[in-house]
Amino acid sequence: MTQIAATGWPGVEHTPHAPLKARAARALLKPTVNRLPVQVRFAGGGTWGAGDDSSARMDVLRPKALFHRLGADSKIGLGEAYMAGDWTVGENTDLAQLLTPFAERMATLVPVPLQRFRVFVDQQLPHQQRNSVEGSRRNIEAHYDLSNDLFAQFLDPSMSYSAAWFDGDEDLESAQMRKIDGILDQAGVTAGTRVLEIGSGWGALAIRAAQRGAQVTTITISTEQATLAEKRFAEAGVDVDLQLIDYRDITGEYDAIVSVEMIEAVGEEYWPTYFAAIDRLLAPGGKVSIQAITMAHHRYLKTRNSYGWIQKYIFPGGLIPSLEAIDENLAEHTSLAVTDRRSLGQDYARTLHEWRSAFTRNWEHIQEQGFDETFRRMWEFYLAYCEAGFAVGYLDVFQLQLTRPKEA
C-alpha cells in the first residue's frame, strides 16, 4: 500500500507566483462565470455568477492563490486549488452540482478566438508516463495499488470499478452484475467458451464468466488487485487462470476477449498494439466486448496531446479515446470492426455519485489507512468532476462488440 503523507504534495503546498498570468486568468474567468447559473463568493467581499441564493455556490477562501494557480496552469490549477483548500463549495451545495454548469460549457469556457493559443499553454504528457511495458506498470501501480482496503470502502461488494448498468431503483451491486452480464453476452460467453479478460480488476467479471462454465484466463499488471482477485476466486469456488502479465505478452487463442475500461490506460501511442493483440489472440468466429470511456472526436483531437489534472493526480498516462479513434485504429491495424454498441453514460454519472457518497461516508476508515486531508479533497474532486462530465454528456462510456464482419 502506498502511504499518503501529510506532506509531499509539491503542486499543492506551494502556490505558484504568476502575477501577470493570474490577472489574465481573472479577466478571462469573470465574464464566463457571470454567464453561469452559479454564485462565486470571494472572501473579503464580491460575488460573480448569474445564479441566485438557491444556486450552486463556490466559496473562494484564498482568491489570490486561486488565480495564481489558474494562471500558472489552467488545466490543473482548479483541481489543485480545491486540494489546497483555496476554494470549497458553499452551504447546501454538492460539488458535482457546482461543477456541472462548467462541464456543460467546457468547450467554450475559454473564448473561441483565444482557443487557437492553447498550443502555447498545453503541457505535453511527461515522458515517464508513456505506456511502455515498464511505464504501464508504474502508471497502474500509482492508482490501482494504492490500497485494496481503500477501494473496498466505496465500491460495491463485487469490487467493480467501472460504470454500472442500472435498471430503475436497483442497488449498485445488482447494476454492476447487469453490466458484467452485458459484456459477457456481447462476447457470446457460454459454457466451454475460452475467455481472455484483459485487465482483471478485483475479479468480478472472471468469477461471473467462470460461473457460466467458461474457461477463463484473466491478466493484470496490478499486484494488489491480483492478490485480492486470487482470494476472491477461491472464496467463490471457481477455477480461473490469473496471470500477472502485460497484454503485449499474452499468447494463446480465445473464443471471447473482454476488457472493461482498460483502453483509457493504454495510451494513444499503444492503441494499435492493443487492438492488434486482441486481433491476434481472437479465434476464428470469436467475439470481443470492450467497455470504453469516450469523448466527442473534436474534443479528443484537442486534448490528445495535453497534460491535465486527472493525468497528474489520478490516472498517469491516461487518455480517453473517441469512437472515431477506435474505429480508425481497428480499420488500420486489425480485421475487426465495431458491430454493436451500448451507451452507459448516464449510468456512469449515477455510479460515480454512489461511489463519492460511500467515500465520504467511510472517510474515517479510509483516513485510518494513512490517507490525509489533501488526498480526501483530491478524490472528492476526481469523483465529482467525472460525475459532472458524464451527467452532461461531455464524457460517455460504451460497451462495444468487435467481430470480424467477413466471418459473420
- Read off the pLDDT of residues 116-165 as tens digits, 9 standing for 90 and up: 544 445 556 666 677 888 888 888 888 888 899 999 999 999 999 999 99
DSSP state of 158: T
- Read off the pLDDT of residues 165-194 as tens digits, 9 standing for 90 and up: 999 999 999 999 999 999 999 999 999 999
Average pLDDT, the chain: 92
The grid cell for 247 is: 497484454
- Read off the pLDDT of residues 197-225 as tens digits, 9 standing for 90 and up: 999 999 999 999 999 999 999 999 999 99
What is the predicted pLDDT for the residue at 106? Answer: 65
Nearest to 16 by CA among 81, 65, 80, 76: 65
Alpha helices in 107-186 (DSSP H): 133-144, 148-152, 172-186
- Read off the pLDDT of residues 323-344 as tens digits, 9 standing for 90 and up: 999 999 999 999 999 999 999 9
Backbone angles phi, psi at 252, to 5 degrees: 120, -175
Lowest mean pLDDT among 77-81, 108-112, 368-372: 108-112
The grid cell for 354 is: 454512489
* pLDDT surpasses 60 at 5: no
What's at 97, amino acid-wise? Q
Backbone angles phi, psi at 234, to 5 degrees: -65, -40
Share of the chain above pLDDT 70, in %: 92
Question: How many whole angstroms separate alpha carbon 279 and alpha carbon 390?
Answer: 30
What is the predicted pLDDT for the residue at 130? Answer: 78
Identify the residue with better confidence: 137 or 111: 137
What is the predicted pLDDT for the residue at 373? Answer: 96
What is the predicted pLDDT for the residue at 136? Answer: 87
Question: How many whole angstroms separate alpha carbon 38 and alpha carbon 50?
Answer: 6
- Give the 3-state secondary structure of residue 226: helix
- Read off the pLDDT of residues 21-48 as tens digits, 9 standing for 90 and up: 999 999 999 999 999 999 999 998 999 9
What is the predicted pLDDT for the residue at 128? Answer: 64
* pLDDT surpasses 90 at 280: yes
Mean pLDDT of 349-376: 97
* pLDDT surpasses 90 at 247: yes
Contacts (Cβ under 8 Å, ≥6 apart) of 272: 329, 332, 333
> Is 200 in contact with 229 (CB distance < 8 Å)?
yes
The grid cell for 335 is: 480485421
- Give the 3-state secondary structure of residue 285: strand
Mean pLDDT of 281-310: 94
* pLDDT surpasses 80 at 110: no
* pLDDT surpasses 50 at 115: no
* pLDDT surpasses 90 at 284: yes
Lowest mean pLDDT among 8-12, 26-30, 78-82: 8-12
Domains and CATH numbers, the chain: 10-120 (no CATH), 127-407 (3.40.50.150)
* pLDDT surpasses 80 at 304: yes
The grid cell for 145 is: 495499488
* pLDDT surpasses 50 at 2: no
Mean pLDDT of 269-283: 97
